[in-house]
Amino acid sequence: MSACLLFDSDGTLVDSELLNNEALSAELADSGIHESAVSLVSRYRGWNFNKVVPDLQERHGALLDESFTQRFRQRASGHFADHLAPVAGIEQALASLDNPKCVASNAPMKKLQHVLKVTGLQRHFADRLYSAYDINSWKPSPDLFLHAASRMGFEVSQCIVIEDSEVGVKAAFAADMPVVLYDPAGVSTHINATETITCMSQLPEAVDRLSRA
């Protein structure tokens, strides 16, 4: 049986990390907090957004009102509709991998469905989408990957995770699953994944090696 592939979404399937944080930077500026999108990506890649807001409030000694998250998500959704694209090479990689596939993300389900539809990647996953919000447990906890594997009908030993963040790699290892780290800029050398790739054309070979390990 082919290994089941558990994909993260932001930064792994869709090129959304910078766009998402450009929207966050703009929303923060409207509230008098000035942070560049680049610094936000570096600090919060892979985080549960429910922890991002309290951290920002503590860092800046500010209080963001109750509607901040909703306004940010609306701004990000519009930004995605105008600019979002698949990660370079992911379409070809997905097409060449005949393994069972799903998405397991810290993002809300509504966002997952939206970004996959906008980028045309939804056809590769159909309804095999699993959100941390649905089980109230976020990476780096292993719960989301364990939940996704169970729903897909696979044992832990039959799964491979594809991630782009440190919290995702930690979650995969906590779930006792091998993990391929996508690091296109080569800036995550401190993260010890099972395999590291710098372009998605390398993904099928990495999956093949881990499947035979």
* Statement: residue 148 has pLDDT above 80: yes
With b for 16 or more beta-carbon neighbours within 10 A and e for fewer, the 157-180 pattern comes to ebbbbbbbbbbbbbbbbebebbbb
- The pLDDT score that the predictor gives to residue 100 is 98
What are the C-alpha distances in Å from 27 to residues 53, 67, 201, 206? 12, 11, 35, 39
What ranges do the domains of the chain cover?
4-15+85-212, 17-83
- The pLDDT score that the predictor gives to residue 27 is 93
* Statement: residue 25 has pLDDT above 70: yes
What are the C-alpha distances in Å from 52 to residues 44, 68, 69, 185? 7, 12, 10, 23
Domain 4-15+85-212 classification at class level: alpha beta
Q: What is the average per-residue pLDDT within 137-146?
A: 97
* 197 backbone dihedrals φ, ψ, rounded to 5°: -125, 155
- The pLDDT score that the predictor gives to residue 145 is 98
Domain 17-83, what architecture? Orthogonal Bundle (1.10)
Helix, strand, or coil (residue 200): helix
Please write the tens of the pLDDT for every residue from 167-179. 999 999 999 999 9
Please write the tens of the pLDDT for every residue from 94-124. 999 999 999 999 999 998 999 999 899 999 9
Please write the tens of the pLDDT for every residue from 187-196. 777 889 999 9
- The pLDDT score that the predictor gives to residue 1 is 61
Range name among 50-54, 155-159, 193-197 with the lowest pLDDT average? 50-54
- The pLDDT score that the predictor gives to residue 185 is 81
How far is C-alpha 47 from the geometric centre of its chain's CA atoms?
A: 9
- The pLDDT score that the predictor gives to residue 178 is 98
- Global pTM reads 0.81
